[in-house]
Amino acid sequence: MGEEADRSLAAVVEERVGSAADRVLRDCVALGAPVPEFVVRAGREPVDQFDSRYVQLTEMLLTQLDPAGVHVDVSVPPDRSSVTVRAAAGRSVEDLCAEFAEVVQQLLVEGELRGAAWPPCPAHAGRHPLWVDRSGDDAVWACAKGPGFSATVGSLAVET
Ligand SMILES: [Zn+2]
């Protein structure tokens, strides 16, 4: 019973991770940014897609992971720097979405986009980036300079 309960809990968490990651991916595609990769690992199970890239590191990395947790390795091709997010059982889709959006923003700005403002604030002609915030429960991208702009993560579009 215990083993099975763990598996179904992991399935619920993986579903939340999928929904949260989809929202961030939608923004990347809409804005023409490099598209990040989300690799989900339940406990310490091997994940070839990720482990084959870090053969030297994997063994050490695995011993640091919570065997009962779900972890998400977020990376942006082609340079592949990655950040691991711990998806604890109690975290909501909005919570995960907010963290994924922040991680992807950091990876893109420090990597492929070389310091560009991303995502660009539509209210200020892209002169500064939007920041992840919460509006009620929702994960949103917001302009930090007053109530200029706010949009749910996953709903950004290129200004026309
Ligand atoms: Zn702004």
- The predicted structure's pLDDT at residue 1: 47
Residue 53 has pLDDT above 60, yes or no: yes
Between the CA of 149 and the centroid of ligand 1 the distance, in Å, is: 6
Does residue 134 form part of some domain? no
Does residue 44 form part of some domain? yes
Burial 19-42 (b: 16+ CB within 10 A, else e): ebbebbbebbeeeebbebbbbbbb
Please tell me the pTM assigned to this model. 0.89
Between the CA of 151 and the centroid of ligand 1 the distance, in Å, is: 12
Does residue 58 form part of some domain? yes
Q: Which of 23-37, 87-101, 135-149 has the least mean pLDDT?
A: 135-149
Cα angle, residue 53 at apex, residues 52 and 57 outer, rounded to 5° = 90
Q: How many CB atoms lie within 10 A of CB 50?
A: 20
DSSP 34: P
Model pLDDT for residues 31-40, shown as the tens digit of each residue: 999 999 999 9
Q: What share of the chain has pLDDT > 90, as a percent?
A: 59
Between the CA of 80 and the centroid of ligand 1 the distance, in Å, is: 29
Does residue 138 form part of some domain? no
- Please spell the DSSP secondary structure of 63-124, one letter per residue: HTS-TTSEEEEEE-TTT--EEEEEE-TT--HHHHHHHHHHHHHHHHHHTTTTT--SSBPGGG
Between the CA of 23 and the centroid of ligand 1 the distance, in Å, is: 21
Between the CA of 77 and the centroid of ligand 1 the distance, in Å, is: 28
In the chain, how many domains are there?
Answer: 1
Between the CA of 130 and the centroid of ligand 1 the distance, in Å, is: 7
Does residue 32 form part of some domain? yes
Asked whether the beta carbons of 70 and 15 are under 8 A apart, the reply is no
Does residue 35 form part of some domain? yes
Between the CA of 145 and the centroid of ligand 1 the distance, in Å, is: 6
3-state SS, residue 45:
coil
Between the CA of 156 and the centroid of ligand 1 the distance, in Å, is: 14
What mean pLDDT value characterizes the chain?
Answer: 89
Between the CA of 16 and the centroid of ligand 1 the distance, in Å, is: 30
What's the rounded Cα separation, in Å, for the pair 120 and 100? 17
Q: Range of 53's domain?
A: 2-114
Between the CA of 158 and the centroid of ligand 1 the distance, in Å, is: 15
Between the CA of 131 and the centroid of ligand 1 the distance, in Å, is: 10
Does residue 147 form part of some domain? no
Phi, psi at 131, each rounded to 5°: -120, 150
